[in-house]
Structure 1
Amino acid sequence: MAQAVESDVETGDLKREWLRSGKSRRNISLLLVAPLFIYVLVTFMLPIGLVLYRSVENSELAQALPLTATELSQWRPATPGDLPPDTVFATFSRELADAERHDVAELARRLNYEISGLRTIVMSTARKIRSIKTEPADEDARQMLIEIDPHWNEPTYWHAMKRAAPHYTPYYLLAALDLRHADDGTIVRAPEDQRTFVDILLRTLRISAIVTLVALLLGFPYANLMATSGKRFALFLMIAVMLPFWTSLLARTSAWIVMLQKEGLINTFLGYVGLIDRPLELIFNTTGLYIVMVHMMLPFMVLPIFATMKGIPPHFMRASASLGAHPMRGFLHVYLPMTLPGVGAGALLTFIVTAGYYITPSLVASARDQMIGYFIAFFIDKTINWGMASALGIMLLVCVAAIYMIAARTVGVRQLAGLR
């Protein structure tokens, strides 16, 4: 009996020691991956969070005219044709006269997104109000503003200011989907001449899909040739496919412009051999975009497929042939299914990278072929509209994430990662 008790005690000590050592190993593992986790958090998760915040941030009116923003938020018009009460007019005129010029400029820029031309109205009204020496009574503020600019007697402009009053707004996200808020608060489609962003997104996805398909058709036999060739020829093919990674993206794009232009190498050669009578339009159009983009994306397709093919034992095809299978049947039923992890990884990587490209399409494509990256850069660099740029970025991110999830459920995450 005593021996049994002693055995149980020893077993319990061993179990505790094993648990203690396992906990120590887990802590060491966490410490080892902590730098990577922090790096991903700072360089990936934090920027995405900031982009999401900027797509809904709406502080211009609240910062420039805080009391006006509060009163407009509390204003509940009975009909879309109602004007705000006199107190709103009075508060607006007082705060607009005392507001910092920089804050007024930011407010005017924000309101101009709601109604084109409202920026000019706000800036002009602010200048004229500051020139008035005496402060009007509350009941006279309405008439004063209407005399300064008759637009202040139109409910549409006050409804636009009411939509801009909250600290957070769905305006940019709705605009990225060609939607907007009507004066009665409902969500409606934007006017037909202002519906652009959904078409741009669909164009981006279409271009990415076509580039991915063409890269797959070219990259699969190229990767197979690399996997089945001798070492020297395979090395030559590897250098050829890796060469684009060793040169600047701008240099590669500029070289293609030189080659594809009317007096370029390709048109000159085709004319020399008599295949064409006049130069072909190969650049600054859809054709040039696809040619250059496929060349840029080909390594992203070839390398994952090649890595998968190198891991396929060559005797599998010989075994299928020895069993009487036709080479085409052996390829379709034995070899091709085993390359699908590489195909899935390469296609997804190519699609995602293509969808986010900016420099190459902006240089070689026409105006009607620009992808969404061009417009994100436009809103950041030209109009300083971070909210719209962030909303377009979020829209692209959601589409890419949805495509990834569909591919993961269809093919599998491990297969997309190139794992068995």
Structure 2
Amino acid sequence: MLWFTDAMVDALRPAAVANPGAGEIFQLLRDGTARTKAELAALTGLARSTVALRVDALLAADLLRPAGEAVSTGGRPPARLAFNSRAGVVLAVDLGATHATVAVADLAGVILDSRTRTIDIGDGPENLLDVILEDGAALLGSAAVESSAASGAPLLGVGIGVPGPVEHTTGRPTNPPIMPGWDRFDVPGYVQRTFDVPVLVDNDVNILALGEHATTWPHVDDLIFVKVSTGIGAGIIAGGQLQRGAQGSAGDMGHVQVPHGSGSAREPGDDRDLEALASGSALAAALRDGGQDAHSPADVVDLVRAGNAAAIEATRQAGRDVGEVLATVVNLLNPSIIVLGGSIARAGEHLLAGVREVVYRRSIPLATQHLAIVQSQAGDRAAVLGAAIMVAREVLSPASVDRYVATKAH
């Protein structure tokens, strides 16, 4: 089960609120800890009568639930209240170049049901989204969801990850290289024809970073997730928060020109970017030119797992090239953890070894003193978990909760 830690809750809440509403009080309970009204009054500085009104509104909206009684200090034991993670559900979607996973999660990020299908992202947005929305509707009515969520729990939001750059404020993919027909397409608007709820869209690496952070490294404030697959990108978590940049393009490592490191087999004038050197597609092309039967990133992985010496060396060199770029990132951002994911990272330790070799040698000692470079542990569900977390944070933000409570009251 995914829990929101105190640090995560604090990061979501403004530093000071003059008169906390129901939404702000609700944030104090999102870590899963049950509290009494008296404890909430002490934490907020509000009068108990005011807290009681806010809490009653949250109970009426089903966002809180009774959680037993606290120890009595004399008289009737005070009732405790807790976050009701089953008050609603979210739809989470991970769109890849060749696959799509759709899941339904509760408000704490627990996956209730999911399904995965093979797709071709080049089929275009309308065709693919229609299929995804049909899958989503079927999951919302599935026995697993009906039995796990509260009776009649409403759909509160949809989160979608796509394999290309996204202008996060609008949810529109922007010049995505492997997504023909998707440029500037209004994904949220199209989805809202079927589900009239908030729809958030982000780059797939960002939602992978969210999923990995929440499931494996929840107490780490500074983490970089690097996906090496058909393309290369990074999700940056700094100060406990995902960093998207001004327009949502932060973490685009793939288009960084790779420095010419010592011992590199490249010619000094070879100024290709990282994706052209180290992505799964680039590795497949290089191996094919060398006489190997490699036409896709999956073929590269198969060759590495079969012990093919050329594929192993190419993958390790790809790790070194990724490390050349990451060394600069480490010096700039000083993360605690670098997580390597994607199909090429799953082929074995060879990519990881190449990254470590260069990063630990080229980054400053203070930045690498406690730096861990590891493989992804979150598994195949990391992306849909990240999409669920992304939309849950939005629909459970103080302002969103205040609006939801007001709607329920009327």
Q: Give the structure with the larger helix fraction.
A: 1
Q: Give the structure with the larger strand fraction.
A: 2
Q: Which has the larger radius of gyration?
A: 1
* TM-score, normalised via structure 2 length: 0.25
